Amino acid sequence: MLSSKEILQLRDALNHAKHPIYFFHDDPDGLASFLLFYRTITEGKGYCVKAFPHITADFVQHAENAGADIVFVLDIAMVDQEFIDGVGRQVYWVDHHTPLQRERVHYFNPRVTTGENVPTPVLCWQVMGEQRPQDLWLATTGAIGDWYFPPYAQEFQKQRPDILPPNITTVEEAMFNSPLGTLIKAFSFNLKGPTNEVNTSIKILTRIENPDEILKQTTPRGRLIYKKYVTVNKLYEQMLADIAKTATKDKLLVYTYTHDKLSLTKDLANELLYRCPDKLIVLGREKDNEVRCSLRCGKQWNIAKALEKALVGIQGYGGGHEQACGAGIAKEDFPRFLEQLRHELKL
């Protein structure tokens, strides 16, 4: 968790921001982190960083175009020093991925001080929860969407037992056996597709005050978010069924697909891990001669270490957490990559 000093430092920066820009990852925890900060001051512009979470020098222009006076980077694994040097503004980076050494940046990552892996929306809730207690539903959705059952989830269960029943105590149950799981998918699925559609969904979400707007479609804006969820969910369920047909006893479950517009690898990999906890999941989307993968496994393996070694001699990149990683592999090298991954994990 953040220290008291870090909480006050971030809270002060947020409350004094006039025209902030928020760079955030395109997943439920990144989106929730942005919404928690934005709704506290209702100022600034959000920029969703799609695909591999990496801020390069090219992102300086986005801050310039937004007329930003301060930069918040939320749930982004990599920020280049060239961006920090070139943006010419104070940068506040809140994250929980593998710590990186950078200069001239305000860096908030509990893994540096305590080794804790605490998702970014939990840290954002520490900063602004007192100012907007009504946004507890966002903080809970974001945290559980990143496979972390936060302490404050018990308070949300008291407030909304219809969304997160009190008898649910694990992330898996919450994600796949409760209405909160629908909210998590709604967040994720509204970040899919063309950029203009994604930006429209994000703008609508900044204005939604109650989860019933989405789950029960009680307002026009909530109905729009739910409609996108239903549309994407049809493809998602079809792909789950296709994967089930091809499953074998092999400890390595590999599934690749080609789709021009939607990336569902992270979402599918999460649910497959729940359904098949004894398997290593590799879900890949083929695009531009590259297989963009989401990898998931149980605690019996450390996929991050294995991935690092499996990438040796491979045209590709990747990284992440012990049980959840992302990677991009040249299509021609993908079979060799799988062989090396098998070797490292003795599958």
Q: For the chain, give every domain's residue range.
A: 4-227, 247-345
DSSP state of 177: S
Q: Tell me the C-alpha distance between 113 and 143, whole Å.
A: 20
Assess whether pLDDT exceeds 70 at residue 261.
no
The pLDDT of 311-331, averaged and rounded, is 91
Q: What's the mean pLDDT in 33-59?
A: 94
Q: What is the pLDDT of residues 117-170, one digit of tens each?
A: 999 999 999 999 999 999 999 999 999 999 999 999 999 999 999 999 999 999
Summarised one tens digit per residue, pLDDT across range 275-311 is: 999 999 999 999 889 999 999 999 999 999 999 999 9
Are both 4-227 and 247-345 of the same fold? no
Residues 6+ apart with CB under 8 A from 100: 78, 79
Q: Which CATH architecture has domain 4-227?
A: Alpha-Beta Complex (3.90)
pLDDT of residue 50: 84
pLDDT at 263: 85
According to the model, what pLDDT value does residue 174 have?
97
CA atoms of 108 and 93, how far apart (whole Å)? 6
Output the pLDDT for position 180.
98
pLDDT in tens, 198-247: 999 999 999 999 999 999 999 999 999 999 999 999 999 999 999 988 88
What fold, for 247-345?
Answer: Diaminopimelate Epimerase; Chain A, domain 1 (3.10.310)
What is the pLDDT confidence band of residue 319, given thresholds at 50, 70 and 90? Answer: confident
Residues comprising the chain, all counted: 347
Determine the Cα–Cα distance for residues 310 and 56; give it in Å rounded to an integer: 25
AA identity, residue 143? A
The arithmetic mean of pLDDT across residues 323-346, rounded, is 95
Helix H, strand E, coil C: the string for 8-48 is HHHHHHHHCCCCEEEEEECCHHHHHHHHHHHHHHCCCEEEE
pLDDT tens, residue by residue, 5-26: 999 999 999 999 999 999 999 9
Q: How far apart are CA 186 and CA 325, in angstroms?
A: 22
pLDDT of residue 33: 98
User: What is the model's pLDDT at position 150?
Assistant: 98
Residue 331 to residue 19: CA distance in whole angstroms: 42
Give the model's pLDDT for residue 28.
Answer: 97
Residue 246 confidence (pLDDT): 85
Specify the 3-state DSSP secondary structure of 93: strand
pLDDT for the residue 186: 98
User: Given a cut of 80, is residue 101 above it in pLDDT?
Assistant: yes
Instruction: Point out which residues pair with 295 in neighbouring strands.
Output: 282, 325
Q: Ramachandran region of residue 344, left (φ > 0), alpha (ψ -120 to 50) or beta?
A: alpha
pLDDT at 90 over 70: yes
Mean of per-residue pLDDT scores for the chain: 95
Q: What is the pLDDT of residue 288?
A: 87
Assess whether pLDDT exceeds 70 at residue 35: yes
Full-model pTM = 0.91
Sort 123 into a burial class: Cβ within 10 Å, 0-12 / 13-18 / 19+.
buried
Residue range 204-218, pLDDT digits in tens: 999 999 999 999 999
Segment 148-163, tens digit of pLDDT = 999 999 999 999 999 9
Q: How far apart are CA 293 and CA 255, in angstroms?
A: 10
Give the pair of three-digit tokens for residue 267. Answer: 């979402």
